[in-house]
Amino acid sequence: MANLHSIGKCFPLCFAFAISTASYSECAFSQQTADSQWAPTVTKPEFPQGNGPRILVDAAHGNFHTIDRRFAAFGDLLKRDGYRVQSADVEVTAELLDQVAVFVISNAIYGGSDAEWKLPTPPAFSSEEIDVIVDWVENGGSLLLIADHMPFPGASADLANEFGIIFLNGFAKRSVKGGGALSFTRSSGSLADHAVTRGRSESEMIESVTSFTGQAFRFVGAVQPLMHMPDDWVVLLPVEASVFDQSTPAVSARGLIQGGVLRFGSGRVAVFGEAAMFTAQTHVRDGVVRKTGMNHPAATENAQFVLNLMHWLTGLLND
């Protein structure tokens, strides 16, 4: 079983857990922001500065995470490894993806900051955009698709389905009140042995990766799991994001994963159900500044995991 750490994840709305007649406010409208004090370290960059493969990060679909804000640490880390990281604030077309090595989508949501975080969740991508992405991957492109807790899984579900991923539009938690940071470890078997977790040398070997709530998902076909959910967790499926009570539907997390990769035609796909693990953020709760992501004390190997993953997506690592 994965190791658990009691640290919560906050979002730009109040978490009201309705339990009988009582309620529990976890976040009190705290706001995630990029941690300006955290700087990634890459001791041996893979490419000369600015000469590596081009990484394009989506910013055109209401994304909660973009490289100029909450996903800044992700972009900074890759730039220090020599990758060329750019933002894209236009619809997805074949011309846009031409000459792109990896297309990154993190927490797309229809309507952006004006989105209503309750059911039903409209798709963030048009059917034409999905067709373009699928064709591009099939012909050699690489996609990193990240969809956190509800409503993000619902917004990207149609795209995920094309690759054999069945998102659950909910919250992966230990219980209604429980949850928080979850460490997937090699020793427990919750972190799979794969090229991404082995790296290319002992210094790149990953023993533990930590995520922060998110969702969990099913998969079919050629998906290779990386992060197996603990059997005693659940995925809560509320009508409104973060509002739970004793009648909130839930499914067991047994057999579900929070991260996996697959070959698709000539291309590669990586899918994750949690976004903070790829960045470094802070939020204030009860007057205390709290860290979430690569800056968290339990996430010391997350940065190397991100580098290994990008090395796999750009063909430097093979299964």
Q: pLDDT digits over 229-240, tens only?
A: 999 999 999 999
ω before 151 within 30° of 0 (cis)?
yes
Predicted confidence at residue 284, as pLDDT, reads: 82
HSE (side-chain half, CA atoms, 13 Å) at 170? 25
Residue 154's pLDDT band, with cuts at 50, 70 and 90, is: very high
pLDDT at 38: 92
Q: By mean pLDDT, which of 21-30, 138-147, 203-212, 276-285 is the weakest?
A: 21-30
Tens-digit pLDDT profile for residues 93-112: 999 999 999 999 999 999 99
Give dist(CA 214, CA 110) in Å, integer: 18
The values of phi and psi at residue 314, to 5°, are -100, 15
How many Å apart are CA 179 and CA 90, to the nearest integer? 36
Residue 25 has what pLDDT?
29
Judged against a pLDDT cut of 50, whether residue 14 lies above it is answered with: no
5: confidence class by pLDDT, cuts 50, 70, 90: very low
Helix or strand or coil: residue 94? helix
Query: Which of residues 312 and 35 earns the better pLDDT score?
Result: 312
Please give the C-alpha separations between residue 251 and each of 27, 182, 232, 233, 238, in angstroms, as whole numbers. Answer: 24, 18, 11, 9, 12
What pLDDT score was predicted for residue 181? 87
Total-model pTM = 0.90
Kindly state the average pLDDT of the residues 271-284: 93
Torsion sign across C-alpha atoms 179, 197, 222, 78: positive
Does 9 score more than 90 pLDDT? no
Question: What's the gap between Cα 116 and its chain centre?
Answer: 21
> How far is CA 203 from each of CA 43, 198, 276, 298, 304, rounded to the nearest angstrom?
11, 9, 24, 18, 9
Q: What percent of the chain has pLDDT over 90?
A: 82
Does residue 73 register a pLDDT over 60?
Answer: yes
Is the pLDDT reported for residue 22 higher than 90?
no
- Among 14-18, 47-51, 272-276, 286-290, which is the least confidently predicted range? 14-18
Question: What is the average pLDDT score of the chain?
Answer: 89
pLDDT at 13: 35
Position 12 confidence tier, pLDDT thresholds 50, 70, 90: very low
Predicted pLDDT of residue 180 = 73
Beta carbons within 10 angstroms of residue 4's beta carbon? 17
Mean of the pLDDT values across residues 51-67? 97
pLDDT at 175: 81
**Distance between CA atoms of residues 250 and 237, nearest Å:** 6
Backbone angles phi, psi at 85, to 5 degrees: -110, 125
Cβ–Cβ < 8 Å for 309, 198 = no
The DSSP symbol for 98 reads T
Question: Which tokens is 129 given?
Answer: 């955009």
What pLDDT does 19 receive? 28
Residues forming beta bridges with residue 163, ordered by sequence position: none
Give the pLDDT score at 290.
Answer: 86
**CA–CA separation, 317 and 33 (whole Å):** 32
Q: Note if the bond before 120 is cis, omega within 30 degrees.
A: yes
Q: Which SS3 state, helix, strand or coil, does residue 218 take?
A: strand
**pLDDT bracket for residue 30 (50, 70, 90):** very low
Helices (H) and strands (E) in the chain, counts: 6, 20
Structural domains for the chain: 3-313 (3.40.50.880)
**Three-class secondary structure of residue 158 per DSSP:** helix
Pairing of strands 102-106, 165-167: unpaired
Q: Give the integer Cα–Cα distance in Å for 179 and 171.
A: 9
Q: Given a cut of 50, is residue 28 above it in pLDDT?
A: no
